[in-house]
Amino acid sequence: MKNLYDWVRRSAFLVSLLGYEVTAALHANPAGPLAAAAVAAESAKANAFFDQVFDEAVARSPMVMGRLGIKKDMDLWDDISEARALEDFGLMVQHFAELQQRINFELLDDQAKVSYRMFVNEAERGIEGWKWRHYNYPLNQMSGLHSEAPAFLINYHPITTVAEAQAYIARLRGLAGLFDQLIAGVKLREAKNIIPPRFVFPLVIDSIKEVISGQPFAPTEKSSALWEDFSTKVGALTSIDAATRARLLAEARAALLEAVGPAYEKLIKVLVTQQQIATDDDGVWKFADGLDYYAFALRGSTTTQLTAAEIHQLGLSEVARIHHDMAAIMQQVGFKGDRQAFFKFIKEDPQFYYPTTPAGKAAYLKRANQIIDAMRARLDEFFITKPQAPLVVKPVEPFREQGSAAAFYEQPSADGTRPGMYYVNTIDMRGVPIFEMETLAHHEAIPGHHMQIAIAQELKNMPKFRMYGGNTAYAEGWALYAEYFPKEFGYYQDPYQDFGRLYDELLRAVRLVVDTGLHAKKWTRAQVMEYFRQNTPNPERDIFTETNRYIVWPSQATAYKIGMLKILELRELAKKQLGTAFDLREYHDLVLKNGAVPLDLLEENVRAWIALRKN
């Protein structure tokens, strides 16, 4: 392994120099324009190579194929063993070497050069990250196969034929083997002292118990989520007879009782045992070389070279600015009292919350759809390219609502048969206040995540890894920018909705402070919660969920504000440089039609566009 790793590091160094060597060669030996045919041929060869690598990776993951709507290996789960991880790493190294041997960077067109550099960046990060591959928690309250596997079956495994129903049953039985691999990974990390903080365990155990509650696991009127899903899907099949339907239901019931239930009970035993040795240390500083890992994680999440100290200070500055803007809204609505009193008013006044009842939840979802429709009606004012994929608003399923965020988005299938999904967590309606509805819909749906992700998937003549891949700083930066720019065009007329916009922006600024506080400055979970209480109007459940999220997903939450600030900074640069020639629709097209590029490449793209427009 050491020899392989040393070879990979040397390859990474050579490839990182390639772009500079090509540029230097061009300046040292200027030649006439390269033949258009040669450029087109080499670019086509590069794009074919990128798609080959992407297709090979997809073919190795039944779950990725399912998410993309590819009906293949529908009876299988991903292989998450250490042996498979090493195999995947070897393939990445092989492809990295092939890129150098097969593709002439100098002969590529501009888009292919961007793709080349993105491929190199991802490979280099994968190589650097190999040493950190165990620095995570496979079982946590935010993510993990204990919740993702049933969610995958419900959302991504269609049943339109008997064969697909039988594949679903095979996956139910296959959960035992998948969870054995999951447990092996958990124990491997335990040997390295990589154990979640103590608070994580009851949250994960509760979510597991929810999966295996109800029929057929217990004699109650309620059906478990998996049984209800399978029964509903098989019940909708019109091409089968009653005997076949009864057989499929019996086989699924047996799989749930004989394989799924025992697999989840086994997970619970592992968690209960590990909980006994867990500590209350929350940040990754507790790991061996934890601060180095966190620096690596920050570079990946932000796609910048910003340090933890720089991000922390930026967060403090942004919190102060947003507090100032909130004070102006307090004055606008005639509120008498200080910021803390206003926060208390916002948190406690029932006018700002739907009730946590079936009617209240339905009313929220109806209003969310109305907000989305109002934005959709004006998209031509702001965008040239618009997504074709449809969008639906859904409540988070009960088995994962306890630990889930207030809202999130899941992308549509590649073939267009599954829409994009804007999820709202309705477990406690105080977690999704009315004053936040406009900004939340803009962020998760239109013009935020759905706009960006669906457009990327629908791009033409673009390598697939750029259509379906991405990075957090770009994707979340765009979504936060999508919350902001509608204000410039008359949205947020209600001052409380405008406060909701600031409320969400404040959350992202606070994240810069507390994420770096937790993982670099050794803040405790209690310190983070108190910082929230003093500086935000967030309800206690929101504070609880958000704090827990940052602990198990180090650095991820810093990406939002960093990405938004860069997109805004580049927009203002373009406006200043181009003056009356600046077109917001063209700027948005530039940002969206190149896929989810790292922020440094986004800046290069924008500066090149400015230069071209000025000429």
Q: pTM of the predicted model, to two decimals?
A: 0.85
386-395, 396-405, 479-488: the lowest-pLDDT one: 396-405
pLDDT score of 405: 78
Q: Which residue has the tokens 């295996």?
A: 212
pLDDT tens-digit map of 575-598: 999 999 999 999 999 999 998 999
For residue range 538-557, what is the model confidence (pLDDT) as tens digits? 888 889 989 999 999 999 99
Q: Positive or negative CA dihedral for 72, 76, 80, 83?
A: negative
Which has the closest alpha carbon to 117: 23, 189, 213, 192? 23
User: Which residue, among 593, 609, 606, has the nearest Cα to 385 in the 3D structure?
Assistant: 593
Higher pLDDT, 24 or 326: 326
Quick: pLDDT tens for 14-64. Answer: 333 333 333 333 333 344 455 899 999 999 999 999 999 999 999 999 999
Which residue bears the tokens 């399912």? 66
Contact partners, residue 19, CB within 8 Å, separation at least 6: 105, 117, 120
Q: From CA 72, how far away is CA 70, in angstroms rounded?
A: 6
Vertex 488 angle, CA 485 and 493, to 5° = 105
Neighbours of 504 (CB within 10 A): 21
User: Helix 525-535 vs helix 540-552: angle between axes, to the nearest 10 degrees?
Assistant: 140
Do 489 and 381 touch, CB atoms closer than 8 A?
A: yes
pLDDT in tens, 91-110: 999 999 999 999 999 999 98
State the pLDDT at residue 4: 35
CA nearest neighbour of 126 among 94, 79, 101? 94
Taking the alpha carbons at both ends of the chain, their separation in whole angstroms is 53
Q: Is the pLDDT of residue 300 over 70?
A: yes
Task: Identify whether the C-beta of residue 156 lies closer than 8 Å to the C-beta of residue 78.
Answer: no
Residue 423 parent element (H or E)? strand 420-424
Contact between 102 and 49 (Cβ < 8 Å):
yes
Using CA atoms, how far apart are residues 113 and 582, in angstroms rounded to an integer? 26
- Asked if the model's pLDDT at residue 215 lies above 70, the reply is yes
pLDDT at 397 over 90: no
pLDDT range class, residue 615, cuts 50, 70, 90: confident
